[in-house]
Chain A
Amino acid sequence: MDAIFIQILNGLDKGAAYALIALGLTLVFGTLGIVNFAHGALFMLGAFCAVTFQKLVTISVKVRDEGVTAFVAYKEQPYLETWFGDTGRIIIDYSVPLSILLAIPFMLLVGYVMERGLIKHFYKRPHAEQILVTFGLAIVIQEIIKAYFGANPIPQPAPEILAGSANVGAWVGLGNNLVYPWWRLIYLCFSGLIIFSVFAFLQFTTYGMVVRAGMRDRETVGLLGINIERRFTIVFAIAAVVAGVAGVMYTPILPPDYHLGMDFLVLSFVVVVVGGMGSLGGAVLAGFLLGIVQSFASMNEVKEIFPGIDQIILYLVAVVILLVLPRGLMGRAGVMDD
């Protein structure tokens, strides 16, 4: 029972990351009709917002490192610590959650520039060309990150108070032996909040209503005198922000490196296809479902019966679902049917 409970938590956690990336992908596809292979790179850029913020708050004066005697070495003493003492230390400690403040405007800008500067020129081009250009863009972004930050993962510790594990077993009456990292639980709640916000925005605001209408019938909305293109640009920027903040919050779970986006991209596309192209609800549902399936497939008991199943399970489930439901779990008729 313990093992099953922990794998469900794991699956939800993993699924939350898939769902957040897939949500942005679907938003972009549903509004602009663009298959954006650079979306994973946006997740990675978000993660590097956290790295950059940490570097900013730890800008330091170089002082001689007396611990090194073999050669002249320098260590860094953050100005924030020198100037503000404990307050400075707290800001540095909470740099990951605080970096969201940097990530939101930065990702909005990146999304806007990306859409206006490149993506809009490919609206009417075949999907194959969209994939090629966005994939190329993803490679350019990751190479720039590598050039500036190196290739090694850069650890981003969670605030000290949240670095340990929660005794989740005691919460659900499964004993004291069942623990789960605090930060992963926070990530799960955070994902829920972001997903809810995106849905609420689309469902309960006039802006969202117009966007939804545009997703259904762009031409008619245009004929009503609404500049739907402009709204879609903003939607692209919002999708970039969703990917970005998901990346920021993921950094204490997985130290980011330049390849982080690519690691998630392919799986997120599987999630989008399984959920149904263009379906936001489908993307979220498929994200969590595949996360849980993948988590269970990694259990030793399962692998003893089906060796290597954890490597192929997502694709296997995708094949089965698409055979039974060719448009995915919640796909709409007419989307990518041709």
Chain B
Amino acid sequence: MSDIKKSGVSRRGLLKAGAVGGLVAATPSIFIKNAWAEEFRNNPENSGELKLGFNVPQSGPYADEGADELRAYKLAVKHLNGEGDGGMLNTFKPSMLTGNGVLGKKVTYSTGDTQTKSDAARASAKRMIEKDGVLMVTGGSSSGVAVAVQSLCQEQGIIFMAGLTHSNDTTGKDKRRYGFRHFFNAYMSGAALAPVLNKEYGSDRRAYHLTADYTWGWTQEESIKNSTEALGWETVNAVKTPVGAGDFSQYITPVLNSGADVLILNHYGKDMINSLSQAVQFGLRDKQVNGKNFEIVVPLFSRLMAQGAGDAIKGILGTTNWNWSLQDEGSKAFVQSFGAEYGAPPSMAAHTCYVQTLLYANACEMAGTFYPPEVIKQLEGFNFDGMGNGPTLYRAEDHQCFKDVLVVRGNDNPSSQFDLLKVVDVTPRAQVEYDWTIFGGELGPYEVKM
């Protein structure tokens, strides 16, 4: 007793300090903001680096688009690590990104080749998750691939930030808690395109669809049919074409005598290039049917693909997620940064991939942890701006981004080699929103047992 007194600490004081210390030690960590004791797959806690997995088509029919996606990812990594001019880091708001990596960790990456095949894409994503230890997987140029990889990521407890995927199913019946899509979808294309079609071609039209025979083609055909029929258009026929058909002449010639005055090409990539070029060769654009000029519509347009179709795209209407000619601050910063790095403007696929990387990084910063369920909660319902599409919402219920949609036309008088698409209308976000329950599906759990 006297010894304690001698040291200046009373017995009562020692007991009090012990009690307070015990209480602090016993306090559940949930009362301390963003402190997560849970172990999760590929936790980078003990590493100075954070590794992301860029799963893009490096071979196969969309390899050029994949190469552009990869360029954008590398640029995003550069910007996140504080190199270069910062690009959209300077315009993105609200943002916690400072160019100091993510949560103080340097961003690195690993790449995979989807080959635009679902099984190959799953295999490369699995390899990146299990062997390379990536914390997030992103990329792709096909809805079939996106749906397959998204489902794998849900099983693995790894967040998937989809690249270019336009099928309603990705955030509809096949949506997953761990999957997020910034790109727009077929429903939005239909909703955005319909008013412009009405204005340009009127409400008394007869449409003929040629549709790529897989998930994206089916949902796009359905969405465009719904939108055009609501205008008063009649659907004369809707014909499924095999993916990669090459020569579409046998599908185009029946259009000539079908009584249709509009051909809607629900094709993308090489199929779009071939079917559009051949439709023009068959003189469809010079035809007069039902007393009207025959028209061709390509609901999903991409500048990279437009390049492949040459002059055939001139005057053709479609929609796009983003175009490099936009003049908002975010787009300008991104185009400048990308153009200085690679000598060409980014494609819409590159844009969505770049934005997805920044969104994920920012969500980690906001969560204060890499723990996926917490990062997911930050992305759900996140409102942001300055990324090239105006005010945007990541809807919590289906992980679909909602933003303005661009209606474009193949440029008749391009001012430069890249000036292939001209924005003719910006459809406000409110006009392309829909009730998330219409496409069904379940997000699934936050916690994934491993």
The residues of A with any CB-CB pair to B shorter than 8 Å are 2-3, 6-7, 10, 13-14, 65-68, 70-75, 146, 150-155, 157, 163-165, 177-181, 183-184, 252-255, 257, 259-260, 263, 294-295, 298-300, 303, 310-311
Contact = CB atoms under 8 A, between A and B. Distances in A.
Interface of B: 59-64, 67, 237, 239, 242, 244, 246-247, 249-251, 253-254, 256-258, 270, 273-274, 277-278, 281-283, 286, 304-305, 307-312, 324, 332, 335-336, 338-340, 343-345, 414-419
A73 B416 contact: yes
A156 to B, nearest CB: 9
Contacts of A73: 339, 343-345, 416-418
A46 to B, nearest CB: 16
- Counting from the closest, the 5 A-B pairs by CB-CB distance are A71-B339, A67-B416, A151-B63, A298-B250, A165-B283
B249 A151 contact: no
B248 to A, nearest CB: 9
A152 B283 CA distance: 24
Given A67-B419, A71-B339, A295-B250, A255 B274 contact: yes
B60 to A, nearest CB: 7
Contact of A13 (B244, B249, B308): B249
A263 B339 contact: no
A165 B309 contact: no
Contacts of B286: 164-165
B257 to A, nearest CB: 5
A179 B339 contact: no
Contact of A3 (B64, B239, B257, B414): B257
A154 B281 contact: no
Given A155-B277, A164-B283, A165-B286, A259 B61 contact: yes
Contacts of B338: 71
A7 B335 contact: no
B336 A257 contact: no
A71 B335 contact: yes
Contacts of B273: 152-153, 155, 255
A300 B237 contact: yes
Contacts of B324: 70
A6 B339 CA distance: 47
Contacts of B335: 70-71
A194 B254 CA distance: 30
Given A10-B250, A70-B345, A311-B242, A181 B282 contact: yes
Contact of B340 (A65, A72, A152): A72
B69 to A, nearest CB: 13
Contacts of B340: 71-72
Contact of A165 (B59, B64, B281): B281
A132 B278 CA distance: 35
A184 B249 contact: yes
10 contacts: A10-B253, A70-B335, A71-B339, A73-B416, A73-B417, A75-B417, A152-B273, A165-B281, A255-B310, A260-B246
Contacts of B256: 2, 6, 177-179
B311 A157 contact: yes
Given A181-B283, A298-B250, 8 more contacts: A10-B253, A73-B416, A151-B64, A153-B273, A154-B308, A163-B281, A257-B270, A303-B239
B258 to A, nearest CB: 8
A237 B311 CA distance: 36
Nearest to B273: A153
B60 A151 contact: yes
A154 B310 CA distance: 9
Nearest to A311: B242
Nearest to B344: A73
B308 A255 contact: yes
B336 A7 contact: no
B319 to A, nearest CB: 21
B78 to A, nearest CB: 16
A155 B61 contact: no
A32 B282 CA distance: 41
A68 B34 CA distance: 46
B250 A253 contact: no
A154 B415 CA distance: 21
Name, among A255, A259, A260, the residue most crowded by chain B CB atoms within 10 Å (CB to CB). Answer: A255
Contacts of B417: 65, 67, 73, 75
Contact of A157 (B310, B332, B415, B416): B310
Given A3-B257, A68-B418, A253 B247 contact: yes
A293 to B, nearest CB: 11
A222 B122 CA distance: 56
A178 B242 CA distance: 26
Contacts of B254: 3, 298-300
Given A70-B335, A253-B247, A299-B254, A155 B309 contact: yes
Nearest to B62: A151
Contacts of B277: 155, 255
B36 to A, nearest CB: 42
Contacts of B414: 67
A82 to B, nearest CB: 17
Nearest to B254: A300
A327 to B, nearest CB: 29
Nearest to A7: B253
A154 B270 CA distance: 10
Name, among A2, A73, A295, the residue most crowded by chain B CB atoms within 10 Å (CB to CB). Answer: A73
Contacts of B258: 300
B418 A14 contact: no
A260 B270 CA distance: 11
A295 to B, nearest CB: 5
B253 A3 contact: yes
Contact of A151 (B59, B239, B332): B59
A254 B246 contact: yes
Contact of A150 (B60, B64, B305): B64
Contacts of B343: 71-74
A68 B416 contact: yes
A257 B344 CA distance: 22
Contacts of A295: 249-250
Given A71-B335, A152-B307, A177-B256, A165 B282 contact: yes
A157 to B, nearest CB: 6
A263 B244 contact: yes
